[in-house]
Amino acid sequence: MDDFSIPGIRLGVAQAGIKYEGRDDLTLIEIAEGSHTAAVFTQNAFRAAPVVVAERHVASQDARYLLINSGNANAGTGQAGMDVCERSCVAVATQTSAQASHVLPFSTGVIGEVLPIAKIEAVLPNAVGDLTATNWNRASRAIMTTDTRPKLRRCAVDFKGQSCEIVGMSKGSGMIQPNMATMLGFIATDAYIPGALLDTMLRCAVNASFNRITVDGDTSTNDAVTLTATGQSDFRISTLSSNEAIAFQSALTEIATALAQDIVRDGEGATKFVEITVLGAASEVEADQVARTVAHSPLVKTALFASDPNWGRILAAVGRAGVEALDVDAVSLVINDVLIAEKGARAPSYTEEAGQAAMAPDDLVITIDLARGDAGVTLWTTDFSYDYVKINAEYRT
């Protein structure tokens, strides 16, 4: 990858040996004074200590540092976990000119074990000494857990002579479900965006991207996505209705979607990238309900892994999605442009050979038309393979 950078952002990486020796597992992101940061967090009620602390800190004042560790989630750790999380913020403050409340902590890894804070404190000076604007590549690897590859994206926004850059990285591979998953995302731009507008724009982008992915239907305890605007370019946004804001929102949503899809493509043991679109719903909520039911069905997902056009499993999932007064005789199903079913039954034109050919590619598009309205949604998911079971069965060993 090329060297990525955003004026006003520096990143430092260190090896704390939190879970494994000899690998990068601690990242410190320094944010220039005058920047604004917005964040969204998991909707899981069983929230990890860093989520609680980061949400409190980001609400009180603009962040100066993001501290990210992999290998330990510091979730399900009670008051001891809260204490070491606060202590990690104090450690950053001690090494820098910031206050502890200027630090947002993030953790990912095994649940139920208190973060080994002494290991972090010992190497934090190394992370501070490593701070550089072009460290995005190394940082994107340091935040990985079961990921097999880093997830790093960038794009430029140009509008009437004004320009800015957006760079983002994310991690996630399993325990992935809409409404944020066991994933972390960190996005930065050199555009000037006031804090209130930044929060609105981040939530809009997240709803269209990270909240539209699912690997296994599990929502994690540690999820978070941040967006930092350093204001060090000439690209300025003052209102959400401005043309500059519209151009930036489009680019932000595009990069968030790319990062979210990168997570799905790297899903634990995944062999298929699956786009599920539900059309003709009475409401977006109804369409989302159907799409999620299909995406979370183990029977559907194992059929996808086998490249088996077992369309009955998909229709069965649609039927149990809880759609009120569903007319099954109006439902149709298309996979990769092959009409599989219509009017609630196998299409007269369908052949098993055509179905198998449609299921063979690594990328699948499943389109379900409920024929009861004008609403629709799209989300992205994976199949279930033998490796998914193996990875998660051996996760703590």
Q: Label each residue of the chain as H, E or C.
A: CCCCCCCCEEEEEECCCCCCCCCCCEEEEEECCCCEEEEEECCCCCCCHHHHHHHHHHHHCCCCEEEEEEEECCCCCHHHHHHHHHHHHHHHHHHCCCCHHHEEEEEEEECCCCCCHHHHHHHHHHHHHCCECCCHHHHHHHCCCCCCCCEEEEEEEEECCEEEEEEEEEECCCCCCCCCCCCEEEEEECCECCHHHHHHHHHHHHHCCHHHECCCCCCCCCCEEEEEECCCCCCECCCCCCHHHHHHHHHHHHHHHHHHHHHHHCCCCCCCEEEEEEEEECCHHHHHHHHHHHHHCHHHHHHHHCCCCCHHHHHHHHHCCCCCCCCHHHCEEEECCEEEEECCEECCCCCHHHHHHHHCCCEEEEEEECCCCCEEEEEEEECCCHHHHHHHHCCCC
Among 108, 182, 226, 230, the one annotated catalytic? 182
What are phi and psi for residue 135, nearest 5 degrees? -95, 15
Let me know if 27 is a catalytic residue.
no
CA angle, 63 then 64 then 70, to 5° = 85
Tokens of 363: 């990328």
Would you please indicate which residues are annotated as catalytic (active-site) residues? 182
